[in-house]
Amino acid sequence: MSNCNYSWFKFRMYVACLKCGTKIPLQSLEGAPHCNDCGETSESSWEELCSIADIKDLRKGNGSNKSVYAVMQIALNTEPIDEIACYHCKNKIDLHEDLIQQKSCDCPSCNEKLNFETISSYNDFTFYRYINQKMDPAQLKTVIAVHCAACGAPMKKDPGKINYHCDFCGVENILPIALRQKRVLDDIFAGVQEKIILPEKLLEVNELQKIIACLKGNKKEAFAANSLNTVMLKFPDNLQVYHIIVNDLKHTFPNEVFEKLWETSKSAVFLKIIGQKLNKSESEITKRIKKFDKNYKQQEQTSKKEEKGFFDSLKKIFE
């Protein structure tokens, strides 16, 4: 059942290697940061480092750019985005599944499987890895022939690692730049989950924001007959609810709903829309608005006074 919304952020996190200072980018939450330059592996896991970086601020919906000096030097940059995309077909995807529970879902466009990661310290966060460069499995298994810089012993090593240990003399070697396997970094996205009410529970809720989230997170077919009409009548002054139901869900209100809204709404802007739907004249719309909108009356009175003053001035000029 689709009952989740997500606020997505581009999530860039780097830590500095404790041994050589090289920046290590977050590419997966599994395991701990490993430096390809010197071979050092952090004692702190990526999950622990996320907790230290205090990423709970994402729940407020704001991005950040900060540095944290703790067990490791951490640089974190987060930027709010509207939605994520499938790295298989490149199409934008709007997901409402419980990705934290499922940990995977199929792309709505190409049906390819997409995987999501979670961390125990933030049970409402999910992480998505957009793979920028798909590696050929054969390429991943490739080894290259190198020689130890100290003793000259021949070895076969992984070109994806920058340092390599000589099994003969014990010297740590650095793989020349020309021989290193180059790889484009993947983009990491963090999603903050918000549970939304199910469509069948829509009429049991009175909180406007929860109702709006439910309307945005589901298709028209998910709602019971007449429930959208009832919701609109519950909030007769709310243009946002009206636009979501009419423009996003493509629902058409029957005339009897507009008639009830005409009687109950106290929004001048909304009454003009309703009046047009009911083929009301301008004078009828104005008369209806005047029943409750004091500002509308004052504005009209001010306008009439200004108009009278203008014509009085003209009259004096031509006398």
Paired tokens of 154: 């021949």
Spatial separation of the C-alpha atoms in residues 40 and 60, rounded to whole Å? 35
Residue 10 token pair = 């581009």
Residue-wise pLDDT tens for the chain (319 aa)? 457 889 999 999 999 999 999 999 999 999 999 998 788 999 999 999 999 999 988 999 888 899 999 889 999 999 999 999 999 999 999 888 899 999 999 999 999 999 999 999 999 999 999 998 665 555 545 666 778 888 888 877 776 666 778 888 888 877 776 666 656 789 999 999 988 888 888 999 899 988 998 898 888 999 987 999 999 999 999 999 999 999 999 999 999 999 999 999 999 899 999 999 999 999 999 889 888 776 665 555 554 454 555 555 555 555 5
